[in-house]
Structure 1
Amino acid sequence: MTTGCKTTTVFVTVLCALLLTILGLVQEWPAWVWPVLAVLLIGIPAAAFKVASARRGPVPVVFEEQITAAPFERREQQVTRVALPSQWDDYDFQFSATVRWYPLDHGGDDRIVNPAGLAVEAVLDRARAITEQREPGRASLVQHELSGALSRMRPEGTGHLQVMAEDVTLVLREHDQERLDRLAEVRKDKAVWEHQRKYEQSKREYLGEDVLKDTGSAVVWWLAKNDDHVEKTVADLDLLARLTSAANDTEIPERLRDMLAQPSGERPVPFEREPTAADHFEAFINSMDLTDDDVRRFVAKQIAEVIRAQVPHATAEEMLRRYDPPADFTADDENEPTSTPPEDPDGAAGGTSGA
C-alpha cells in the first residue's frame, strides 16, 4: 500500500469514529456497544494494512535507490545561429535547432560530466556534413533536408548518448542573401542577352548568306514573302537589286541595269556610282554636239583601238559594247583619204610649162 492509500485509510477511519460517536450519543446506545465499536475502528484499518502489505511484498532495492537518486536531468539544449559552411567560400548558413538526447547503458566508470556538449557537437557534425555540399542559394531546401536527417536518434561518437534535433532553422545572413539575389539577376540578364545576340547573329547569317546572296535569291525570297505576287516582285526589282548590291558591297551587274526600268517604260533607273572612263567619253561626245550616229561610232571605235593598242583595259571593251560599231568599220578605214587634196597652183603651172 502506498503512502497516499495509508493516509486515506486513516482519515476515513477517524471520520467514521466521529460519526459513530455522535450517533451513539444521540441514540443512547448501551455501554457494552462502545468497547465493541472501538475494537472495530482499530481492527479494520490494521487488517487492511496487513492484507495490502502481504499482496505487495517487500520493498525492492531498486525502488529505494530511485528514491535516493539525483533529481531528473534536463535532456535538451537550444542551439541558435551557429555558422555552418556552404559549398561556396565565405557564404555560411546560420543554423538553429533544439538538440535532444538520452543516455545509453554504458558500463565503466567514465561518467559524462557535460552530456549537452556531446549532444550538440554530434548534431553540428551531422549538419555540417550536409551543408558544406550545398549551394547557399538553396537555404530553405537545405533546411528541410536537415530536418529529415536530424530527426532520427543516432549514437554520438563516444557511444554514451543517442542524439537528435528538431525545430531546425537554416538561413543566410541578410547581406549575403542580397548579394546572391543581385548575382542571380545578373546571370538572368546575361542569359537573355546571349539569346538575343545568337538570334541576331543567326538572322544576319540567314539574310547575308541565303536571302541576299545575290539578286536571284532575293527575288525568290521576296516572292515567298508576298504569296507569289509576281507583279509586286517585278515592281520591287530595283529595290531588291540595290539591297543585294549594298549587302555584298558590290556594284549592280551590267545585265540588270538595262532590265531595271521605270514602270512607264522610260530610261533605265539611274544608279548612284562612280563614273567610268566610258561615261566621261560619252559626256565628251555629247558636249561636241556630234549627232550623227555613224560619226559617234567611228570616233568611239578609233579611240577604243588606240586604248587597246597601248594597254589592255576594260574601258575599250565597254566603249565598243556601248556604241556597237558596225562590222565593216575597221581600223584601216582611218588610212583612206576623206577628200581629194587641192592642186598646187605652182606645181600645175610648172607642169604646163614643162610640158
Structure 2
Amino acid sequence: MSSGHSTMTGFLAAIVALLLVITGLVTEWPYWAWPAAAAALAAATSTLLWIQRRRTPFIPPECTLEPQSPLPPVERWEQVLKRVPLPTAKPDYDCLLSATVRWRPEDAPAWAPVVNYAGLAVNAILERASQVTAGADPTRLSLTEHVLSGELAVMESDDTGRLLAMAVDVRLTLSDEDRERLQKLATVRKNEAVWEHERRWEISRRSYLSDDVLKTTGSAVVWWLAKNDDKIDKTVSDIGLLTELASAANDQPVPRDFQRFVPGLSEVPEPEEPVWEPCEEAEWEPEEAGWEAEEAAEEPVFRPEDYFRMAMDASGVGEDDAERLLFMDRVRDAAWVTGLHDFAVDLGYEPPREEEPDTGDPNPSDSGPGDASEGNQESSREEPPMRSSFGPHFNGDPSYD
C-alpha cells in the first residue's frame, strides 16, 4: 500500500468520526454509546487498512527485472526563421521577418513521395507573408507586424496539400541604415512642405501689398487708416511716408499732388527743362520787350560756343591752357572748311577778306585762255591762310601740328 492510500484512509476515518459526533450531539446519545461508536470506528479503519495492504505486491514494481518501456519522444514540428528579407512598397527597402513556423502533416497516400515538411512549411509562410508586406509602407512596420501576425496565426494548407502551417512570434524590422535613411527623407519632406507653405504665404502677402495696399497712394492711406481707425491725426502725418512707399513699390516718381507731404520734395521746386534756341544776331532789348524780356531773362539761351566752353570746363581744361585754344581753333577751322559757315562764325571764326579785282587793265578781254588759267593759279597760290579770333594758334602753318 502506498502512502497515498494510507492518507486517504485516515482522512475518511476523520470525516466519519466527525459525522458520528454531530449525530450523537443532535440525537443526545447516552454516555455508553460514545465509547461503542469510537470502538466501531477504530475497528472499521483497521480492517480497511489491512485489506489494502493485502492487495499490494510483495516486491515493488521498481525492483522487478523488466523495466517499464520509456515514452516515445515528442516530435516537434516547428522551424525558427531569423531576419528573412521580404519586399515592401518601396523597392529598395526590404523588411526583415523573424518568426517560428509550426506545421502538422496531413495524411498522404501510399504512393506519395517523401517530402521535407520543414521546407514546405517555411515556403508556405513566406508566400503568405510577402503578400502582406508587398503593399506595406516600410515606415509603418509596427502596424504591418500586427496585421501579419493575425494573417499567419491560422493553420492553412500549403500548395501541395501535405501539411498545415502557421507562424507565431512574428517580428518585422528594418536595417539600421535603411531606418536612418527613411528618417532623413521624412525630415526633408516635412521641411520642404513647411518651406513651400511659407513661400506661398510670402508670395500671397507680397501680392496683397503690391497689388492692393500699395497700388496707389490713396489705397495705402485707406489701408493705414483702417489699421489705425482711432488715430486720424497719425494717418495724416504718415501720408508722406505712405506716398514714398507706394512710389517705391511701383517704381514711379512721387505724384505731384502728394509732393507737399514729402519733406524732401515740398521745399525743392522741380527743375525746369532748359529751352535750346539758336542765337539771334540782333541784340535783345529787354526794355522794348516788356514782360517777354523778363521771361527770357529767367530762361538763359546758350550758344554753341557756350557748350564747347562748358565741355572744356567739365573735362578739367583751364581757360588759358594751350590745349583748349588749339581745340577751339581746330573746331572752328573744320566747321568753315566743311561748309558750316554760320556755325564757324558763332564759334568766333574770322573769314578771310576777299581781294578786290585789278581794274588797271583796259582790255581784259584781250587776254587769252592761257592768261586766265595763269591768273587762277596765282590767285590760288596767293590765298591768305585762315585766321582765328582766339590767336595765332592755328593759321595754316603745318609745323604747328
User: If the TM-score is normalised by the length of the shorter chain, which range does it land in?
Assistant: 0.5 to 0.7
Structure-1 separation of matches of 2:293 and 2:237:
34
Instruction: Summarize the Cα distance change of 1:261–1:87 in structure 2 as closer, same or farther, 3 Å threshold.
Output: closer
Match of 1:26 in 2: none
Give the match's secondary structure for 1:169: strand
Structure-1 separation of matches of 2:56 and 2:157:
52
Q: CA deviation at 1:161?
A: 1.1
- Kindly provide the amino acid, as one letter, of the partner of residue 191 in structure 2: D
Check conservation: 2:275, 2:299, Cα contact below 8 A. Answer: no
Match of 1:168 in 2: 170
- Work out the number of aligned pairs and report it: 229
Structure-2 separation of matches of 1:181 and 1:279:
74
Instruction: Summarize the Cα distance change of 1:45–1:191 in structure 2 as closer, same or farther, 3 Å threshold.
Output: closer
- Kindly provide the amino acid, as one letter, of the partner of residue 277 in structure 1: E
Q: CA deviation at 1:133?
A: 1.3
Give the match's secondary structure for 2:126: helix
Match of 1:260 in 2: 261
Instruction: Summarize the Cα distance change of 1:296–1:72 in structure 2 as closer, same or farther, 3 Å threshold.
Output: farther
Instruction: Summarize the Cα distance change of 1:276–1:184 in structure 2 as closer, same or farther, 3 Å threshold.
Output: farther
Structure-2 separation of matches of 1:228 and 1:87:
61
Q: Which consecutive residues of structure 2, in runs of 5 or more, have no partner in the other structure?
A: 6-50, 58-68, 277-285, 301-401
Structure-2 separation of matches of 1:229 and 1:238:
16
Check conservation: 1:99, 1:123, Cα contact below 8 A. Answer: yes
Structure-2 separation of matches of 1:201 and 1:113:
70
Match of 1:277 in 2: 273
Check conservation: 2:240, 2:258, Cα contact below 8 A. Answer: no
Deviation per residue, 1:163-195 (Å, 9 max, x gap): 110100100111111111111111111111111
Q: Which consecutive residues of structure 1, in runs of 5 or more, have no partner in the other structure?
A: 1-7, 13-39, 47-66, 281-289, 305-355
Structure-2 separation of matches of 1:198 and 1:96:
47
Query: Which one of 230, 233, 236 corresponds to residue 232 of structure 2?
Result: 230
Identity across aligned pairs (percent)? 45
Alignment of 1:124-143 (within 5 A): 124-143=126-145
- Kindly provide the amino acid, as one letter, of the partner of residue 240 in structure 1: L
Structure-1 separation of matches of 2:206 and 2:256:
27
Deviation per residue, 1:136-174 (Å, 9 max, x gap): 211222111111111111111111111110100100111
Larger Rg: 2
Q: Does 1:299 align with 2:295?
A: yes
Check conservation: 1:260, 1:269, Cα contact below 8 A. Answer: no
Give the match's secondary structure for 1:162: strand
Structure-1 separation of matches of 2:219 and 2:106:
86
Q: Does 1:244 align with 2:242?
A: no
Alignment of 1:40-119 (within 5 A): 71-119=73-121
Instruction: Summarize the Cα distance change of 1:261–1:160 in structure 2 as closer, same or farther, 3 Å threshold.
Output: closer
Deviation per residue, 1:194-243 (Å, 9 max, x gap): 11111110110000000000000000000011124211111011101111
Query: Which one of 199, 202, 222 corresponds to residue 201 of structure 2?
Result: 199
- Kindly provide the amino acid, as one letter, of the partner of residue 193 in structure 1: W
Q: CA deviation at 1:68?
A: 12
Check conservation: 1:213, 1:244, Cα contact below 8 A. Answer: yes
Structure-1 separation of matches of 2:204 and 2:251:
20
Higher deviation after alignment, 85-94 or 167-176: 85-94
The two structures have a TM-score, normalised by structure 1, of 0.57
Instruction: Summarize the Cα distance change of 1:261–1:129 in structure 2 as closer, same or farther, 3 Å threshold.
Output: closer
Q: CA deviation at 1:135?
A: 2.0
Give the match's secondary structure for 1:277: coil
- Kindly provide the amino acid, as one letter, of the partner of residue 104 in structure 1: E
Match of 1:344 in 2: none
Q: CA deviation at 1:71?
A: 5.0
Instruction: Summarize the Cα distance change of 1:93–1:303 in structure 2 as closer, same or farther, 3 Å threshold.
Output: same
The two structures have a TM-score, normalised by structure 2, of 0.50
Relative CO higher for 1 or 2, CA cutoff 8 Å, sep ≥ 6? 1
Q: CA deviation at 1:87?
A: 1.5
Deviation per residue, 1:76-120 (Å, 9 max, x gap): 110111111111122111100001111223334315431111111
